[in-house]
Amino acid sequence: MNIVLITGGPSSEREVSVSSSKSIFKALTESGHNVTVIDPVNGKLPVSADEIFKNAVKKDSPEFKEIDDLRISSNRKILDCINSDIFDNIDIVFLGVHGKFGEDGRLQNLLELRGMKYTGSGVFASALAMDKDISKIILRQAGILTPEWIALSNRFPTDLEELNKKINSTLSYPCVVKPNDEGSTVGLSIVQPDVEDVQLKNSIELAFHYSDKVIIEKYIKGRELTVPVIGNEAFPVIEIRPEDGFYDYEHKYTKGMTEYFCPAEIPEEVETLAKETALKAHKALGCSVYSRIDFILDDKNDLYCLEVNTLPGMTETSLVPKSALANGMSFNLLIEKIIELSVSKNY
């Protein structure tokens, strides 16, 4: 097949996107596909795959810190890219992007306007899943347990004193503060009780740096589980154990800082519940092809759904490939399955 692999993009998860895409590119070429790699922020200029992967923006680089400027400056280039002849005679677009623009339905919308088939969920499901506030409302409506939360908007001033009272009365401390529409734990903080509200203030400001909307969520102490859904099947449950208890960006993408157990060492009834709930969440948000659903299992074996990821990571340390392998599916076969399901889905 003739495939365009989209990587990079104007997201704070740009580095992770390129890492995922390296693995995807290798699998696609090994399977005999003709693959063109593009980073849409380059516009319609032809750039080789080697150059794109070589020049990946690192998280601690000055370019990464100016990602907001990149997003603004690249809008026209992205439109030029999608509208260019790069996409002529292409069978499908494989989305190796993560985060804003890549995972929130905007890129999917542009590709549909261009008449292109692409991997993963459609426009509406992508937008719903990316919006943590709205997706939690839908999950709760579907009868799925999710931690209590408060949503803040930067359109309205935040009264820290009143917010602190509300947190104490509805959530309690510690609590989790995070951007409403970011992934990979970007901008996330765990806030402890603080008489002067300094932690709370700083955490909210950090989260607002990445999003116009912020979620303050009840902290659930427990075991971190995740369940991939591929097609209409929930794959083996993975337990995630970071070495110091906090599964942040560094622990996710640094070898040796987190242990993974797949299949997870959990009671059979919990495994069944996790798989059933993952499928239920996937369907409630209208997802298709594949997703990964994250949970916290507390000491009472209550399972809380944290979020649904519509374009989960595909790096060598990523979770969906680990679960697929435990289910007898190699990485290359997983990529082929995603293509097969994406070609046949309804657009």
> Catalytic residues, which ones?
13, 184, 253, 292, 294, 307, 309, 313
Q: Which string of DSSP letters, residue by residue, matches 258-293? A: EEEESS----HHHHHHHHHHHHHHHHHTT--SEEEE
Sole residue written with tokens 């490939």: 321
Residue 144: CB partners within 8 Å, gap ≥ 6? 277, 280, 281, 284, 305
Q: Which string of DSSP letters, residue by residue, matches 83-112? A: TSGGGTT-SEEEE---STTTSSSHHHHHHH
Residue 250: CB partners within 8 Å, gap ≥ 6? 257
**CA-based torsion, 261, 263, 267, 270: positive or negative:** positive
Q: Are 77 and 43 in contact (CB under 8 A)?
A: yes
Tokens standing for 108?
Answer: 């999917």
How far apart, in whole angstroms, are the C-alpha atoms of residue 292 and residue 278? 8
Interstrand relation of 92-95 and 2-6 (parallel, antiparallel or unpaired): parallel
- Provide the residue count of the chain: 347
